[in-house]
Amino acid sequence: MNKHRIIKVILAFLCFVVLVVGVVWAFMLFFGGRVLKGITIVIEQYVAQSSVLIVGLCIAVTILLLKLLASRKINHPKQYYAIIIIGLTISGLNAASLLATPYTIINTNQEFDTAFDLDWENSIPSNIYKYFLPSPYFFSSHFLSIPEREIIVEKDVLFYTGENITLYFDVYRSKMDASQLPGNGSIIINLHPGAWMSGGKGTWNMISTSKYLAGQGYVVFDIEYGLIDWFEYAAEAPDTPEYVMGNFTIEDQIRHIGIFTNRCASEFAATYGGNLDCVYFMGRSAGAHLGGVAGLGYNNDFHNTTFSPNITVKGVIPLYPPSAAPEFLLKENKTTNPDLYNAYDLVHLADPQDPPVLIFQGTSDGQVWIERVIALEANLESKGVKCCLVKFPFAGHANDFVLSSNIGQVWSYYLERFLYLTQHIS
Amino acid sequence: MKISKKMIKYLCIISFGANIALILMGIFHYFIGLNIVFGTSFSILIVLSWFLNIILIVYNDYKIVKSSLMGKKIHHLGYGFVGVNIIDIILLVAGLFLLNANWFSPILQYSLIIFGFFSFFIYGSIFSYLNLKSLDKREVWQFE
């Protein structure tokens, strides 16, 4: 074989490898990690938000294959045309998430219409709209990202030492006067994912979203809480700091968040220009559960000494939330102490005085199943809580990592509107 | 389908114009921010230009005389264009994911995105220009 032919064979082989990856990606889009479990639960997190680029990649390698096998068009036309069909089919399947974007937009608009009345869009002043995304999705922004506004980031600010751990937070805020921006200095307490036993602030708590919200005039506190060292989970989050690990339960984690709210009310809000009359709890996965407990439970008798009484919670933003704590991660189980269990169950904590809730959920999530989140929304609404579920077809767990993806853009579009609308609900 | 010289000529002109327009729009994207008219036209033009570039590569395979020196050059440039496309997509995926990470400097993150986006359309404009320039050379193209 001459040199050219060897290169051609290697290239053709690599093209087939990419198409096989395209098949795996398409499978993960449709079924998530729910079917195969194991490593697919981790892979699922990267699939939907990269699928548009995988479409481009599959089309490109199909074209390359056609160029490489051009001579076969005459001698083996069936093989040649089969490659076209296979390549385009794989690309088409990977486009499912992108093609479902209009469905997400229509569906979320209906959710907002129900929660905030049909006129909600007109209730936002035109001078505020100039700071918002003008459209739920721009294909151009998908590649070039959403332009950032000038912000200030302060990292590793200590807020708690004790129980053999130290807890820090990162704070994101605008360089501009927040009172001139939609956020008006409202505080967002951002809780990281990681199955209550792993993860940390920063990278895995979606820095891009924190930066984007800071640019809108929100003061975003990305905080740590003590993590459970005696529990193991297959899909644990990376970058877990050793200094937060301890012999904890979920009750301790809520207590750590409570400590932060108290220090925030007494000190940090003033330092960073945060508005205590407008506080949001936002969290991802396990952080969404903890944020839900804090946001829906801060007015509950069980938790009434945990959180600062000087904050007013205006909204809860759980992304891919488990609706209740796993029993074994509490000090007592459901049978021996049902009141304790209920105090960490979002539905039991809900009451008509609770603030509105905006939920992010992908339908292909293998860790937090869509059926359970739909039930959570229905149960919260039956308890009198305003609730909007932003449902992303084909998205898996943690699919808000890329802010400029079709998922990230649609989420940001409705998130900024939700935050503004709820600020002005008394 | 019969592909005439005129068709390839128009394809090259539109493709060249669209690639140049996208390079300029890509620069403006970071300066004028997000705007409904600009964002929509930019988005449509990206899809249009990408498909035009792909069509031009495919047409090349049908109509270029690979035995001629210029034809061989354009044919190889077609391979290079697909290669650049693949590399650019990988750079864009990496850049967009890393934008969320605090492990690297924003300069590196944006370099990956900017190089991934602009190199495709710069290569595309050169490729369509060379095609256009060689159209009148009878030894390069094979039209009925």
Domain check: are A93 and A108 in the same one? no
Contact (Cβ atoms closer than 8 angstroms) between residue A421 and residue A123? yes
Domain check: are A114 and A84 in the same one? no
Domain check: are A107 and A206 in the same one? yes
Average pLDDT score over residue span A250-273: 98
Contacts of A28 (CB under 8 A, 6+ apart): A40, A43, A44, A47, A364, A396
Q: Where are the domains of chain B?
A: 5-133
Is A138 touching B (CB cutoff 8 A)? Answer: yes
Domain check: are A93 and A107 in the same one? no
Q: What is the pTM of this model?
A: 0.95
B82 min Cα distance to partner chain A (Å) = 6
Contact (Cβ atoms closer than 8 angstroms) between residue B23 and residue B121? yes
Domain check: are A69 and A121 in the same one? no
Q: Which of A63, A79, A99 is the last residue of a domain?
A: A99
pLDDT surpassing 90 at residue A370: yes
Which of A56, A63, A144 comes nearest B57 by C-beta? A63
Domain check: are A319 and A390 in the same one? yes
Which of A61, A67, A207 comes nearest B86 by C-beta? A61
Count of domains observed in chain A: 2
Q: Residues B16-36: pLDDT tens digits?
A: 999 999 999 999 999 888 899
Contacts of residue A50 in chain B, CB cutoff 8 Å?
93, 97
Return the pLDDT at A356.
97
pLDDT surpassing 90 at residue A332: yes
d(CA A43, CA A33): 8
Q: Which of A74, A99, A124 is the last residue of a domain?
A: A99
Return the pLDDT at A1.
66
Contacts of residue B46 in chain A, CB cutoff 8 Å?
139-140, 143
> How many other CB atoms are there within 10 angstroms of residue A164's CB atom?
10
Q: How confident is the model at residue A91 (pLDDT cuts 50, 70, 90)?
A: very high
Contact (Cβ atoms closer than 8 angstroms) between residue A284 and residue A367? no
Return the pLDDT at B62.
80
Domain that includes residue A7, residue range: 3-99
Domain check: are A352 and A298 in the same one? yes
Q: Which of A99, A118, A153 is the last residue of a domain?
A: A99
Residue of chain B with shortest Cα separation from A57: B86
Residue of chain A with shortest Cα separation from B94: A50
Q: Residues A276-294: pLDDT tens digits?
A: 999 999 999 999 999 999 9
Domain check: are A65 and A106 in the same one? no
Contact (Cβ atoms closer than 8 angstroms) between residue A189 and residue A148? no
For chain B, 144 residues long, give each residue's pLDDT as a single digit of tens.
Answer: 677 888 899 999 999 999 999 999 999 999 888 899 999 999 999 999 999 999 999 888 888 888 899 999 999 999 999 999 999 999 999 999 999 888 788 899 999 999 999 999 999 999 999 999 998 888 888 876
Instruction: Work out the percent of chain A whose per-residue pLDDT is above 70.
Output: 100
Least confident span in A132-136, A253-257, B2-6: B2-6
Q: Residues A39-59: pLDDT tens digits?
A: 899 899 999 999 999 999 999
Output the domain CATH number for residue A255: 3.40.50.1820
**C-alpha torsion angle, residues A108, A110, A114, A116 (rounded to 10):** 60
